[in-house]
Amino acid sequence: MASKYTLFLLLLLHFRSATCDQEQTNIIKLGFSLSPTNHPTSWLSPSGRFAFGFYQNGNGFSVGIWMMGEIENTTTWTANRDDPPVPSTAKLELTMDGKLLLRTDSKNSKPIASVRESASYAAMNDSGNFILYNKDHRVIWDSFSFPTDTLMGGQSLSRGAALFSSVSKSNRSTGRFRLEMQYDGNLVLYPIHTPNISVDAYWASDTSNMWSEKNLDLHLNSTGALLLINITDSTVDDKLNDGSLAFNNSIIFNGFYENKTTPLWSKPDDKCSVKSFCGFNSYCTLDDDQPVCRCLPGTDFIDTDQTSRGCERNFTEEWCRDSGRSASSRNIVRMENMAWDDPPYFQVKMQEDDCSKSCLEDCDCHVALLDSDTYCKKQKLPLKYARRDRQTSSTAFFKVGFEGVKKKQTGVNTSEEPPTVIIRTRDATVLLLVVTLGLVTWSFIALAISGLFAFKLRFLEYRKLLDRGDIGLSEELALRSFSYKELKRATNGFKEELGKGSFGAVYKGSLSRGKRIIAVKRLEKVINEGEREFCAEMRVIGRTHHKNLVRLLGYCAEGTKRLLVYEFMSNGSLADLLFRSQRRPDWNERVRIALEIAKGILYLHEECDAPIIHCDIKPQNILMDDFWTAKISDFGLAKLLMPDQTRTFTGTDVYSYGIMLLEIVCCRRSMEVNVQRPEEIVLSSWIYKHFEARELEKLVWGEEIEKKSLENLIKVGLWCIQDEPALRPSMKCVVMMLEGITDIAVPPCPTAASS
């Protein structure tokens, strides 16, 4: 629970006796030093109330200031707070030449205080301030001028300065939130690494318009009053609540020399209004009046031990198919009282059922929010600043697969009502089956009897063909139909798993007595359909021939079992090459791979016998052969499109290709949580920021790349991911742009294009 305290602005009462107001100090002379384990470990203030020195931090030690407590000490300031703890052999020294240094060994040292002149002595005051003085007894450095997460009595927060929360009570490194004293006179709470704009703020003092002047500092005086001071003429405006201010577990004095903490005031009142308390794709809700993070439907925690890091999808999108088949593979999860601050890519007034259906049938929609004014607002993931607010009259519709419904959400408290699952099924088909069931049953019996004799006759001929082992595997012959027993034997009982994709696991096998290596995919999430329909689709896929497509050699449709046999790709996937390889491909290789993939998709869309939409273009589905040629796998597993539907739905593949193209450019995933700055989490947003600022070289540090080539690939990628499908180019245009045949216009911001 300690991490939850990092969120709020606490107002605490600070009393001190008259004797405490006197500037009593303990003089620290040049040459004095401290050790983490040997006495002395700290320098005390005159009353012993505060100490400066080493304190325990995990398995090591940090340098800071703390208030001495009866049960435990309370840290109020930490030096170099984001540095790792130092060992017990470290030494803190006020050197003879007037420097305050932390020495980790005989060779390495780091200044605690950066000063332009030498100190003559130091002092730890009863105010909690550690000070360095020069020979004229003038202050040249003090800890009050460099606050971390706490403001003490007598301390000010100047314009443009900020307090930054700690990670937790035991980890004093920089946390996820900041309290900033703005130049306009407003005191504002923000998530860390966000601009000073209202959309990212979650609390403000609303004092920017109370004074005509703007040169105000925040000051906590010695009596515990929180004031805004005009530093020009030293006038005081007592417009904030009385008391002392602390950000994250702070300190007070109640009475004389008695250390206690008594929260008197905290902001914000709604704890779930704290933006970024929960990460992407998760939402904040109150449990026993404490904020907790839960995953949105269809997602799981990235790290169950750190739920604030957010959630990631637990299923693969498979709904970009024709309406007759897609209903069995997608669902809507409904949740009441949901709210977030992300702008939608589409909004229009409509009824609840229409809003749900509209999102369900829109390949770009991941969630729709129906607000109190009956505006249906469609969103894409990732979603940020989500919360469940009982005072908000709204309904959210989350689109998930069956796995997204069945999979239990980690950390969900059973006291909260579960989301409602709305399953769209093929009612018309079910009704038709019921009506014709009798006729089908009698027809099946008649056919089964006659078919039994034909099967026995052909079985003997078929067994003779099986002994040859190569029938169906040559380019000239059609797909071979395997039995389940054959493929089980070929894979040695499905022993060696090569990977697990969107539709199922892939196993390594061999045919022709080990002469032909194959890859066998066991389909796990296919739509229930007749064997005849499945075999017909496989034959259509078998007629696709392109150097950038993984060749389908055969299939198995036995009972409910569905397996596919592919040529074996020896060099793994593009995802392995980009994200996990020790040596990522050079720029020319990446350009070649991007063009090969584009040509493969173009063939599927426009050049094969029946247009095929992939619906799952991503680096994991691009495989590399013996010669490092890129080949698309898993094509055709989505329903084949009718010719008049092709233009409508191929834009989905174009969007996915654009995301993957940006991943190829930067050799990183489209969404990364473990990044230095939050703006780097979503790759497309990060790329567009540098594209707009003409800083593309920052995307490929350390590589020698021709700038025009880099710019062209990024422009193509940004065009492909436009929110408005009509703005996305066809794959034919994409190939022409990549080959330099067509000029590439400057793309608009993908988000702004839809608004």
Active site residue 616: yes
Does residue 497 fall inside a structural domain? Answer: yes
Does residue 276 fall inside a structural domain? Answer: no
Domain boundary pick from 498, 533, 567: 567
Cα–Cα dist 483/608, whole Å: 28
Pair (456, 593) in one structural domain: no
Q: Tens digits of per-residue pLDDT, 700-753? A: 877 878 889 999 999 999 999 998 888 999 999 999 999 999 899 999 988 643
The whole-number average pLDDT for the span 437-465 is 61
Checking if the pLDDT of 20 tops 70, the result is: no
What pLDDT is recorded for position 474? 42
Pair (417, 438) in one structural domain: no
Pair (225, 366) in one structural domain: no
Q: For residue 641, name the pLDDT band (cuts at 50, 70, 90).
A: very low
What pLDDT is recorded for position 532? 72
Pair (221, 335) in one structural domain: no
The whole-number average pLDDT for the span 2-19 is 40
Residue with tokens 């590399």: 624
The whole-number average pLDDT for the span 75-104 is 94
**Alpha-carbon 614 to chain mean position:** 25
What pLDDT is recorded for position 296? 93
Cα–Cα dist 203/254, whole Å: 28
Domain boundary pick from 449, 464, 479: 464
Pair (507, 636) in one structural domain: no
- Mean pLDDT (the chain) is 79
Count helices and strands (H / E) in the chain. 12, 43
Query: Please, where are the H alpha helices in 4-51?
Result: none
Cα–Cα dist 639/652, whole Å: 14
Query: DSSP per residue over 8-53, as a string?
Result: -EEEE-----GGGGS--EEEEETT-EE-SSSS--EEE-TTSSEEEE
**Quick check: 35 and 53 in contact, CB under 8 A?**
no
The CATH number assigned to the domain holding 522 equals: 3.30.200.20
Checking if the pLDDT of 187 tops 60, the result is: yes
Of 355, 332, 330, which Cα lies nearest the Cα of 344?
355
**Quick check: 494 and 507 in contact, CB under 8 A?**
yes
Cα–Cα dist 292/755, whole Å: 33
Q: For residue 3, name the pLDDT band (cuts at 50, 70, 90).
A: very low
Pair (655, 550) in one structural domain: no
Pair (501, 613) in one structural domain: no
Q: Which residues contact 656 (CB under 8 A, 6 or more apart)?
A: 614, 616, 617, 618
The CA–CA distances, whole Å, from 177 to 148, 159, 723 equal 12, 18, 31
- What SS3 state is found at 519? strand
Q: For residue 317, name the pLDDT band (cuts at 50, 70, 90).
A: low
Alpha-carbon dihedral angle through residues 357, 358, 364, 365, given to the nearest 10 degrees: -70
Q: Tens digits of per-residue pLDDT, 210-259? A: 554 556 788 887 766 777 777 665 555 554 543 333 333 333 322 223 34
What pLDDT is recorded for position 260? 47
Checking if the pLDDT of 402 tops 70, the result is: no
Of 127, 143, 123, which Cα lies nearest the Cα of 222?
127
Pair (107, 211) in one structural domain: yes
Backbone angles phi, psi at 449, to 5 degrees: -65, -45
Does residue 275 fall inside a structural domain? Answer: no
Query: Please, where are the H alpha helices in 603-706?
Result: 646-666, 683-692
What pLDDT is recorded for position 254? 29
Pair (620, 597) in one structural domain: yes
Question: H or E stretch including 462?
Answer: helix 427-468
Is 521 annotated as contributing to ligand binding?
Answer: yes
Cα–Cα dist 146/129, whole Å: 10
Among 45-49, 67-71, 361-365, name the most confident range. 45-49
Sign of CA dihedral 591, 596, 598, 599: positive
What pLDDT is recorded for position 538? 82
What pLDDT is recorded for position 612? 87
What pLDDT is recorded for position 248? 35
Range of the domain at 619: 574-754
Pair (434, 408) in one structural domain: no
Q: For residue 2, name the pLDDT band (cuts at 50, 70, 90).
A: very low
What pLDDT is recorded for position 524? 74
Number of domains observed in the structure of the chain? 5
Q: For residue 293, name the pLDDT band (cuts at 50, 70, 90).
A: very high
Query: pTM for this structure?
Result: 0.55
Least confident range of 38-52, 155-169, 322-336, 423-437: 423-437
- The token pair that represents 291 in the structure block: 């904020």
Pair (252, 369) in one structural domain: no
**Quick check: 163 and 157 in contact, CB under 8 A?**
yes
**Of 616, 634, 653, 723, catalytic:** 616
Does residue 431 fall inside a structural domain? Answer: yes
| Pairing, β 504-511 against β 497-500 | antiparallel
Does residue 274 fall inside a structural domain? Answer: no
Does residue 620 fall inside a structural domain? Answer: yes
The whole-number average pLDDT for the span 322-347 is 74
Q: What is the largest CA-CA distance in the chain?
A: 112
Per the model's pLDDT, the better-predicted residue between 453 and 400 turns out to be 400
Domain boundary pick from 567, 586, 621: 567
Backbone angles phi, psi at 653, to 5 degrees: -65, -40
Q: For residue 680, name the pLDDT band (cuts at 50, 70, 90).
A: confident
The CATH number assigned to the domain holding 727 equals: 1.10.510.10
**Quick check: 254 and 262 in contact, CB under 8 A?**
yes
Q: For residue 464, name the pLDDT band (cuts at 50, 70, 90).
A: very low
The CATH number assigned to the domain holding 295 equals: 3.50.4.10
Pair (715, 749) in one structural domain: yes
- What SS3 state is found at 423? strand
